[in-house]
Chains A and B, each alone.
Chain A
Amino acid sequence: MKKPLLEVNNIKTSFFSHLGEIQAVRGSSFILNEGDVLGIVGESGSGKSVTALSIMGLIDNPGRIKEGEILFGGEDLVKKSQTELSEIRGNEISMIFQDPMTSLNPVYTIENQMVEVIRRHNKDMNKREAIAKAVEMLTLVGIPEPEKRIKSYPHEFSGGMRQRVMIATALSCGPRLLIADEPTTALDVTIQAQILDLMNDLKQRVNASIILITHDLGVIAEICDQIIVMYGGTVMEKGTAKDIFYSPQNPYTVGLYQSVPKAGKTGEKQRLIPIEGSPPDLMHPPKGCPFSPRCPHAMKVCLEKPVPMFKLSETHSSACWLLHKDAPAVGKYTKGVESVG
């Protein structure tokens, strides 16, 4: 049995703008086990990134975590002060971001930026040792001639190389958890594959758990053990990669698959099925299931009552009223399971 590293319990994060409260995350819960890769999928505005930033304690004004707990190694991160969190960030939990072009400070060398982070969390290290560590990390992520390149400024690197530098910095203090927020979205396809290969490779070598946030299902399928599907600030479905890809139990997950082009048989014309409508207004979120206004199977109850998580197996659960034992049978959806939450 794997030990849980991170336990997110019913986290709610809102942004308080002058127009009103924007409920970006409305109660998401999940568990990440040690050594696992957890994928979070969902469209823009589904609350993926805000969930990640909540774990990091990087929710800026006017946002804040309203309730819930984030247990990391048994300690609740929500209760920690910024000073305490800064000891953890970059040290035990690291994060890399979507746009490597703007994520490094343009006016300092790579060496300067990496050494600062390394020495921040390894106070007994002198500058020479920190440089050696930085070079070692750059070698690990596949930067050619790291001793020379470390003296360069970010603008002297390509996008893919910068993302490698970001990964090297994030891993330099040996974190137990790496959060990657759409690490390949801003890169072109060939570089995307390289970065994913790198992360897959590092997963084995550096012994860190990973949360990978993306809207790219292909990316998720490649390296994730566990998957969470998010929509409208809530978790719609969670399970192993096998659960989610081979027996999706939520109309939203199914909708996501149908809207992705498949590398099918050549010559065969295949029409993509879009999900009609637009994501919910998080200032006035729907009373019931957030997906109900767009769901082809929506029932009356979907519009009125919040959906609980229905447990389908040890690993698989989904938030959809169709899974209730009294719901009519629709397509291949399992029915007759008991609600768990």
Chain B
Amino acid sequence: MKNYFLRRFIYSLFTIFLIATVTFFMMHSIPGGPFTREKPVPPEIMRALNAKYHLDDPLIVQYFDYLKGLVTFDLGPSFSKIGTSVNDLIKAGFPITAKVGFFAVLLITVLGVSVGIISALRQNRPIDYFVMFMATLGVTIPSFVLATVFIFVFAGKLGWFPPFGLASPLGYVGPVIALSGYSLSFVARLTRSSMLEVLRQDYIRTARANGLKELSVLGKHAIKNALIPVVTYLGPTIAALMTGSFVVERIFAIPGIGRYFVESVSNRDYTTIMGVTVLYAAFYVLMVFLVDVLYAIIDPRIKFEKESG
């Protein structure tokens, strides 16, 4: 068991290292650099800037310099926001993004799973049709449409929620809805179909044949089995939601890190690109690991490693 965790940890570090490497070289192969402007910068200034940020070093040297920084958790200075480091950018933006993301994850898990279960138990009844209709809508409507409509109706026309910012707790409602719309619908559908599948299983019939109460048949015997595919989906989704969305943060004017995923690339802001990519990769790897651990807790047939290994 201890060995397994250690091995997984090493694999995870290796994965993050690979992602960082690939991103680093891909990013440098894009024409232009952080100081390329429409109006040409005088060559001497360019040279001075490049020298200051060591962009004139051979690529391989820059790469090792970057890795050195990475191990000490120093992500380097930002090229587009002169004077601030990428660490500062993430420190300022990530807590905000993560907070919105956390509420979205909470909504998806609690509401998505329970709505899916209710829908399965009321299969082919009005409530099931309603839930499935909403879920289909939720999967097909893009987040920016959801966000814009929300602002137009609930912030503009009705004035119930602030149209942007997170100054009041009500400000979270819009971004959380826009951010979770797709996954919420997906989780509801996934839970429903998984639950229906499990309810057809022989062991559910056995549980009933043994006279167990319906509460135990569903709440104990069915749910644990039905949640296995949901857990699989939730892992990577949590990683994506906690690192934010460019679209949602932009529309609701949230000062998170979501926007850097796009802005940093168009600015050739090398260090920021690397920073957010590595952050996302680390999160993703962590979540996949947690999903694997959760699997083994839920399903005893899955072992951390072969017993006679």
Please list the residues of chain A having a beta carbon within 8 angstroms of any beta carbon in chain B: 56, 58, 82, 85-91, 94-95, 97, 99, 102-109, 116-117, 120-121, 153, 155, 166, 169-170
Contacts and interface: CB of A to CB of B under 8 A. Distances in A.
B164 to A, nearest CB: 46
B298 A90 contact: no
Contacts of B209: 56, 58, 89-90, 94-95, 97
12 contacts: A56-B209, A85-B211, A88-B211, A91-B211, A97-B209, A102-B203, A103-B203, A106-B301, A107-B225, A117-B210, A117-B211, A166-B206
A102 B202 contact: yes
A89 B211 contact: yes
Interface in B274-296: none
Contacts of B298: 107
Sort chain B's interface into a size bin: 20 to 34
Given A91-B211, A103-B206, 13 more contacts: A56-B209, A85-B211, A86-B212, A86-B214, A90-B210, A94-B209, A97-B202, A97-B205, A105-B221, A106-B300, A107-B298, A109-B300, A120-B212
A117 B203 contact: no
A173 B14 CA distance: 55
Across chains A and B, which 9 residue pairs bring their CB atoms closest together, nearest first? A90-B211, A90-B210, A89-B211, A102-B202, A105-B203, A153-B300, A95-B209, A117-B210, A103-B202
A87 B211 contact: yes
B299 interface: yes
A116 B211 contact: no
B39 interface: no
Contact of A90 (B212, B299, B300): B212
Contacts of B300: 106-107, 109, 153, 155
Contacts of A89: 208-211
Contacts of A95: 209
Nearest to B222: A105
B84 interface: no
A99 B209 CA distance: 14
A232 B202 CA distance: 25
B229 to A, nearest CB: 14
A109 B301 CA distance: 11
A145 B207 CA distance: 25
A97 B225 contact: no
Contacts of A116: 212, 216, 220
SS class of chain B's interface: helix, strand, loop or mixed? Answer: helix
Contacts of A90: 209-212
B157 interface: no
Contacts of B212: 86, 90, 116-117, 120
Contacts of B207: 105
Nearest to B300: A153
Interface of B: 201-203, 205-214, 216, 220-221, 224-225, 298-301
Contacts of A91: 211
Given A105-B203, A107-B224, A86 B213 contact: yes
A58 B204 CA distance: 11
Contacts of B203: 102-106
Nearest to B209: A95
A97 B216 contact: no
A120 to B, nearest CB: 6
Contacts of A155: 300-301
B208 A169 contact: no
Contacts of A103: 202-203, 205-206
Nearest to B208: A58
A83 B78 CA distance: 67
A107 B206 contact: no
B223 to A, nearest CB: 10
B289 to A, nearest CB: 21
A286 to B, nearest CB: 31
A99 B201 CA distance: 11
Contacts of B210: 89-90, 94, 117, 120, 169-170
B301 A153 contact: yes
Q: Most A CB atoms within 10 A — which of B201, B203, B213?
A: B203
Contact of A120 (B201, B211, B299): B211
B57 to A, nearest CB: 56
Nearest to B204: A105
Nearest to A86: B211
Contacts of A170: 210
Nearest to B207: A105
A105 B226 CA distance: 12
Contacts of A166: 206
Nearest to B213: A86
A82 B212 CA distance: 11
A56 to B, nearest CB: 6
Q: Most A CB atoms within 10 A — which of B211, B212, B214, B221?
A: B211
Nearest to A112: B220
Q: Most B CB atoms within 10 A — which of A90, A97, A105, A169?
A: A105
